[in-house]
Structure 1
Amino acid sequence: MAAIVRIMQNSALRRSLTLTKSNIRAISTSKKNRDTVCADESIQKKQVVDFTSPKTQNWVSYGFDHKNEKDDLNAMHSTFFFSITLCIVFGGLIFTYYPDVMLRDWSQREGYLELRRREELGLPLIDRNLIDPEKIVLPSDEELGETEIII
């Protein structure tokens, strides 16, 4: 095993020494790595921009109004204000802090209180007879007659 490691180290060392001695040039995969770009004189001339006029040059519509920039901006700002601020932010706050309509919290608290009461009295946690069987009045067989009873 040690002999294999020595052979691998020596071959790697020899390869690195031969590579550093020879003229190695980096290989480029780009076909246009030596192309140059020339610009026309018309492009090289500086364009004079008049900053004194408030006219915007390259207006891109937000899609609300394609002809008037001011109406387009007003519609965009009002739409995002109502949709983001009012609907999402205030809607989320109302949904989060709205009172418990279905009384889930109340029923859970009552269940825990009932479990604690039953444990203290030594009763089973879940009673088989929720209602006392003596209080239930069932019809007799004569009253039922031919009625099919499904259990």
Structure 2
Amino acid sequence: MLTRMLRFGPALPRLLSNQHARFVSQSKPSSATGSTAVTELHPSAEASGHAEVSPFVKNPDYHGFSSDPVEDEWNMKVGFFLGISVAVVIGGTFIHYLPDYGMRQWARREAERLIVERESEDLPLIGENYYDTNKIILPTAGEE
């Protein structure tokens, strides 16, 4: 398939664009003969009085920014450079400066500070009565 496309060369965009497509109308026929109407999608250049050339025929590397090939390429390069740069730089900066989600970093620093404080006072890191036993309500044997 690729060799066939390469064989046509610069005429390929013209061959691929269907300039003389004919379509059959799906509406009800208006004439007494009852035949379906056949219409031209793109009227021929002689009928319309002027010929529009596809941007792909003038510039095979058309990017959609301008009809001038040089301006089109420069606009494409500038647009992509700025778009990627803005996305990477501003996006990376935004992600870097997001707040501490769930205060995880603060909790880690606070735990390390308490460990150092308790070790310096020769206290256990966690006491054996972590919860206040007077506030714990246990069910009676009958409620189980």
Structure index of larger Rg:
1
Looking at secondary structure, tell me which structure has more strand per residue.
Answer: 2
Compare relative contact order (CA 8 Å, sep 6+) and give the higher one, 1 or 2: 2
Q: TM-score range with shorter-chain normalisation?
A: 0.3 to 0.5
Task: Tell me the TM-score normalized by structure 1.
Answer: 0.45
